[in-house]
Homo-oligomer: A and B are copies of this chain.
Amino acid sequence: MSTPADPVIKPLPMRTAFFVSDGTGITAETFAHSVLSQFDMPFRQIRLPFIDSIDKAHLALRRINETCAIDGQRPIVFSTLVKTELSDIVRTSQGLYMDLIQTFVEPLEQELGMKSMHTIGRSHTPADSAEYRDRIEAINFSLAHDDGQSNRNLSQADVILVGVSRSGKTPTSLFLAMQYGIKAANYPLTPDDFIRRKLPPALLPHKDKMFGLSIAPDRLAEIRHERLPDSTYASIENCRYEISEAEKMMQREGVRWLSSTTKSIEEIAATILQEIKTEQRSG
């Protein structure tokens, strides 16, 4: 007998998507998300990282085929396996095999007139490279210069984010450091600064590196309420005052700024990066 809570339509079993990689699988996964998000349906997602031997490739193959049997429909397999002896194994699964690397490497080999290296785990910079050390150094720098903690070596900063408390400075700074190796300091604009009507003195020599974050007062009040409920700090009146003063100050001082209200830290970071540099080299 059917109760009122029974679903009227039995949902289709969920499709499974596998992210198979010889490394961390982060690239495969992030990228596959973009592709899957084009479809208005949920996917059960399974990460299979560090598939770097024939044995592990066979285990991955078995797991995919077992899932196919259980689901009763083909899994989607996103693979960044580079070595052909590994991808040739996983490719034979009953899933829909999408080769994220080889699909583009082949036309590139033609265009560049050279063979690819078929190396493994090159999707991220190795831990002993200068680029990797720069990233770690940038993370340490950004942490040490979070929230105006230190004025030491501000001249080494690539960018200095300013804005009122909880406008998004800290996560953006860390993201810039982690993703791009950018040394991003951040500095709060506080009611003290608004009364003095001047930027914090330590920042004055670095105006060209400053970038402001603003935010809609109601969103700011919401975020601050989560932190300190029912405080003056979080009140909408105070948020309106601080934002209005901060925006006036940035305008007066010629500091570029953007609103973080509807932007993710990725979007804020990419916008800032466009302002401070648009070209990079890699080798």
Contact = CB atoms under 8 A, between A and B. Distances in A.
Contacts of A36: 108, 282
A80 B34 contact: yes
A35 interface: yes
Given A170-B143, A178-B174, A264 B108 contact: no
A66 B133 CA distance: 35
Given A98-B104, A136-B171, A270 B24 contact: yes
Contacts of A283: 42
A107 B39 CA distance: 12
A6 interface: no
A119 interface: yes
Contacts of A280: 45, 47
Nearest to A175: B178
Interface residues on A, range: 35 or more
A103 B101 CA distance: 12
A76 B108 contact: yes
A35 B266 CA distance: 22
Given A123-B37, A270-B24, A281 B44 contact: yes
Interface string A47-59: 1011000000000
Residue from A31, A80, A103, A282 with most neighbouring chain B CB atoms (10 Å) = A31
Given A42-B283, A139-B171, A107 B98 contact: yes
Contacts of A191: none
Contacts of A127: 262-264, 267
A70 interface: no
A197 interface: no
Contacts of A39: 108, 112, 114, 116-117
28 contacts: A26-B270, A27-B34, A31-B100, A34-B80, A34-B100, A34-B122, A37-B119, A38-B118, A39-B116, A40-B114, A40-B117, A42-B282, A44-B281, A45-B280, A45-B282, A47-B278, A47-B279, A50-B270, A50-B274, A96-B108, A96-B111, A100-B104, A126-B264, A127-B264, A127-B267, A132-B264, A136-B265, A175-B178
